[in-house]
Amino acid sequence: MTRLKSQATTLALAIALLSACSTTPPPTPVPVFDAPAAVRAVRATGGAASSELDVQPLRDPQVEDLRKDAEQLEKAGQYPQAAAALDHALQLNPDDPALLQERAEAALLNEQFDDAERFARQGLDGGSRVGPLCRRHWETIAQVRQARARALPVEIPDAPSAADARRERDACTIAAPPRY
């Protein structure tokens, strides 16, 4: 009986040792997208230099209230609600490039990459091709492309890259005309 117990113990130990020698590689970690960091990067590119022309449009008070609501909701981490407030503002003023950009950033916070790029492109199409807002549009597109590239295990030939978008972003900086 003790010999049988000893053999059973030896067999159990051998099985445990063999299972510990498994060569299965650990799972590949899924790339993490840091949405707030991406939006901070977008907004950082939108600062106007002192030597740069930056034109600000007049704002509709009702739209401005919704924008402020969205800002407060975002600060509270309520990203879907912030996007909804901006959607309501866009119903009132659908062609405002700055509002479209804010909605693109809300989509980025919600990790809705197709929407983020679509809103940024709409802002580009209807707005200026120079200045801080132009840079924010292109940096949003760059952040989307970077997030997509991280998620794909292979590189797609001839696909537009984040670097391409950042070159476009850098071309948005134009010095203000000289004043005499």
Structure confidence at residue 13 (pLDDT): 59
Give the orientation angle of helix 132-151 with respect to helix 113-126, to 10 degrees. Answer: 150
**What does the radius of gyration of the chain's CA atoms come to, in whole angstroms?**
26
Task: Cite the DSSP H helix spans in 21-161.
Answer: 35-44, 61-75, 79-92, 97-109, 113-126, 132-151
pLDDT tens figures, 121-133: 999 998 888 889 9
Report the predicted TM-score, pTM, of the whole model to 2 decimal places. 0.76
Structure confidence at residue 173 (pLDDT): 82
Taking Cα atoms as reference points, which of 65, 54, 136 lies closest to residue 100?
136
Domains of the chain, by residue range, sit at 32-45+59-170
pLDDT tens figures, 47-81: 766 666 666 667 788 999 999 999 999 999 999 99
Taking Cα atoms as reference points, which of 90, 35, 101 lies closest to residue 63?
90
Q: Which CATH class is domain 32-45+59-170?
A: mainly alpha
Structure confidence at residue 20 (pLDDT): 57
Average pLDDT, the chain: 83
Lowest mean pLDDT among 43-52, 92-101, 160-169: 43-52
- Tell me: pLDDT of 28 over 80: no
